[in-house]
Amino acid sequence: MFSTVLTVLIALLTAGLLAWFQYFYRTKHQSKRTFLLAVLRGIAWFCLIMLLINPKINKTKSETIRPKLALLLDNSTSIRNNGYADTLRSLASLLEKNPELREKFDIETYLFGEDIQMGDSLTYSERKTNPDAALQLLGKLYKNTNSPLLLLTDGRQTHGLDYENRVGNISNSVYAVVLGDTAVWPDLKIQQVNLNRYAYLGNEFPLEVLSVYDGKTAQNSRLEVRRDGKILHAQNLNFTEEKNSIFSKFNLKASAVGNMVLEIVLIPIEGEKNTVNNRKKVALQVIDQQSKILLLTDLIHPDLGAFKKSIEQSKFRKVEIKNPIKDKIDLNDYQMVILYQPNQSFDKILQDIRQFRKNTLAVIGTKTAVDYWNSVEPAYNLLDENFAEDIQGIFQSGFKTFYVKDIGFDNFPPLKGMVMEIEPKVNFEVLLTQKIRGRNVESPLFATFESVESKHAVFFAENIWRWRAQDFLNQKNFEGFDGFMGNLVQYLSSNQKRERLQLDFETIYESNDNLRIRAGYFDEIFNFDNRAALKITLQNQQTNEHFVFPFLLQSDYYEANLNGIPPGEYTFTALVEGENLKKEGVFTVLDFDLEKQFSGADYNKLKNVSNQTGGEIFMPNEVQKLIHSLKEDSRFKPVLKEYKSDAPLIDWIWLLILMVLSLGAEWVLRKYSGLI
């Protein structure tokens, strides 16, 4: 502050000296008018000097920040099922509008189910409950603050990591209001069912059921497995408080092709309130044959295992790895052939492949005999082979051979391939182009092409196993990469030509799943057509009820959202309006609601969470006690924050205006006095 005052004084002195020098130094005739002119000139000089040196002062601004109170409202269907929907709405409104809480806290309201969102419009439509996601997100948002979290829920979790075990990551106090019956009733439930997704016609398949009892007295029940009302298997079960779980395993026969829906039932016991979790429907697909894929190579490489595991994720397919020279091969047994890094040892089998017009997937890598391959592959030439290099893929959304979802190809680790020019002799459909050392190259990394009677695809690099591993690291499963490989194999295993309307769907869904069917539609020259109108018509085979849904455009594909349809077996027809194009299919929606598997509230879990974090637990009728506790808790105090900043002593615009006015007044006065 002292330095600022000194600077201003020096500026005043300098301005005065300059004005004195201009108007009084060596001037013989001085008057009152001369003195006024000197003052005006001094003011102008002072403003100019202040503009140049721009002296600053320190400003301190203080702000009182109240702690936040986050209301986390359970928006899942279990709240409505347990009869607490109106209770939660009343509690949320009371807490949000309470003047004592509003005076002490900044109140923010969030809804949570599978995910969390800001707002207070309760719909009770969430089919999964994940308290952990809500607590962890707000724990990070309010980290290092004295802001409590108020959880209004039944404490039941049906999705995500156990919030009780992970609440130690949160530094905020968690308060809970328990919404649900806290009384403990005897309960039987089907805890887990293990069933293969596929079975072969006429074969037996294993079914495993874990039945769990929660109660104090001995109870007897009966486990039944039914199909279309007919009992296929029955077993008597005897439970006690100590023997509270029974694992049952038995075999059933796959008797018909298609989706086989089984209902597993535990006969209710006396005094049991929740019988919804005594029933569970499961399904498997019965198939009558299996596609066989031949993988030809004379190398040992991690790619071989990756191809086999990925393709065999579908039980419709089986991969056999064989050596082109050492093993006896009958091409009639296979629907397609994978040629892994071909060389001269492939010569004899390649002639048979051409003769039988087999569809192929070729992998061209660092061990491929390029000169030999050029001599036998008529569709393209590999020129100017130089050296091995890391090659990344760049996804091309215009690919139209078959439906491909972008699973993050651009961010997958690089493959290993030879730097060379690829000269197509036929029309290539390119899914991935090459990126080498950060530079995009026009050469294809993955492409497909067709001849008159066969279809082919080619990878121009090896180490494809790295993509499957990266997909698992990204998604915690292999579904993205395996889905891509499944669509590729499906395309190459069929001798049908490309279809303009293509569908991507599952044959079995659970009612809790996200029920969506995707479609790709192409014009006559197989360019993706984003102007079409597509719709799908469903028919429930049990009730004959019909549903019609539109396909909505999603960048490079169409998608129909079927959420909300009743469980059952459905036939469907997808068609393009105004075109003679349609596809038919069948799928099953199983009746399974996770939110109905529990009755009442998990009081003990919520109590443990509150105790671990320094919070408290309350029942709905104790809301005034909750408000008093939050109001009187000395941990939740406002924080006084001070902000210091440097600001100009005088705003430059006022200095500029004052300087212009003083110079203007001086000019007018001098003009009036005849000095100009």
Q: Where are the domains of the chain?
A: 2-61+644-672, 67-182+600-637, 187-287, 291-493, 501-595
CATH architecture of the domain 187-287 equals Sandwich (2.60)
Residue 27 has pLDDT above 70, yes or no: no
Q: What letter would DSSP give residue 9?
A: H
Instruction: Determine which helix (DSSP H) or strand (DSSP E) holds 539, and give its type and residue range.
Output: strand 534-540
Q: Which CATH architecture has domain 67-182+600-637?
A: 3-Layer(aba) Sandwich (3.40)
Q: H or E segment at 610?
A: helix 603-613
Least confident of 38-52, 163-177, 335-349: 38-52
* pLDDT above 80: residue 386: no
Tens-digit pLDDT profile for residues 445-496 = 999 998 877 899 999 999 999 999 999 999 888 989 998 998 898 888 877 6
Tell me the three-class secondary structure of 80-117, residue by residue: HHCCCHHHHHHHHHHHHHCHHHHHHCEEEEEEECCCEE
Q: What is the pLDDT of residue 1?
A: 60
Q: Report d(CA 389, CA 485) in Å as an integer.
A: 24
Where does the pLDDT of residue 265 fall: very low under 50, low under 70, confident under 90, or very high at 90 and above?
very high
d(CA 576, CA 597): 41
The band of 575, judged by pLDDT with boundaries at 50, 70 and 90, is very high
Please give the single-letter amino acid code of residue 488: L
Instruction: Give bridge partners of residue 76 from the DSSP assignment.
Output: 126
Question: How does pLDDT run across 625-645, given as a tens digit for each residue?
Answer: 999 999 998 888 887 777 677
pLDDT score of 169 more than 80: yes
> pLDDT band for position 207 (50/70/90)?
very high
Whole-structure pTM value: 0.55
**Which segments of 170-323 are extended strands (E)?**
174-178, 187-195, 198-200, 204-214, 219-227, 230-239, 245-253, 258-266, 279-287, 291-296, 317-322
pLDDT for the residue numbered 526: 67
pLDDT above 90 covers a percentage of the chain that reads 46
Instruction: Give the pLDDT confidence score for residue 2 in this predicted structure.
Output: 64
Residue 534 has pLDDT above 90, yes or no: yes
Same fold for the pair 187-287 and 501-595: yes
DSSP-assigned states of every residue in 11-73: HHHHHHHHHHHHHTTT-----HHHHHHHHHHHHHHHHHHHHHH--EEEEEEEEEEPPEEEEEE
CA distance 310 to 303: 10
**CA distance to 61, 104, 148, per residue, from 641 (Å):** 8, 16, 20
pLDDT of 66 higher than 80? yes
- pLDDT of the residue at 559: 93
Nearest-angstrom CA–CA distance, 319 and 109: 54
Residue 30: which pLDDT band, with cuts at 50, 70 and 90?
low
**Is pLDDT above 80 for 646?**
no
What single DSSP character describes residue 346? G
CB 39 within 8 A of CB 23: no
What would the CATH number be for the domain defined by 501-595? Answer: 2.60.40.1930
CB 547 within 8 A of CB 573: no
> 14-23, 280-289, 423-432: which has the highest mean pLDDT?
423-432
pLDDT, tens digit, 9 for 90 and up, residues 235-261: 999 999 899 999 999 999 988 888 888
Whether 648 shows a pLDDT value over 80: the answer reads no
pLDDT computed for residue 129 by the predictor: 92
Please report the pLDDT score of residue 285 as a whole number. 81
Indicate if the pLDDT at residue 72 is higher than 80.
yes
Give dist(CA 261, CA 569) in Å, integer. Answer: 9
CA atoms 485, 394, 391, 418: torsion sign: positive
pLDDT at 497 over 70: no
Q: Which residues contact 385 (CB under 8 A, 6 or more apart)?
A: 370, 418, 419, 420
Indicate the range of 117-126, 446-455, 493-502 predicted with least confidence. 493-502
Question: Mean pLDDT over all residues of the chain?
Answer: 87
In 341-409, DSSP assigns E strands to 359-363, 380-383, 388-395
Smallest CA-to-CA distance from 316 within 205, 199, 202, 204 is with 199
Q: What is the mean pLDDT of residues 415-431?
A: 91
Consecutive H or E run containing 488: helix 479-493
Could you tell me the fold of the domain covering 291-493?
Rossmann fold (3.40.50)
* CA–CA distances in Å: residue 393 to residues 180, 370, 417: 53, 21, 12
Mean pLDDT value of segment 126-150: 90
- Please write the tens of the pLDDT for every residue from 395-416: 998 887 877 888 999 999 999 9
CA distance 637 to 105: 9
Q: So what's the pLDDT on residue 599?
A: 75
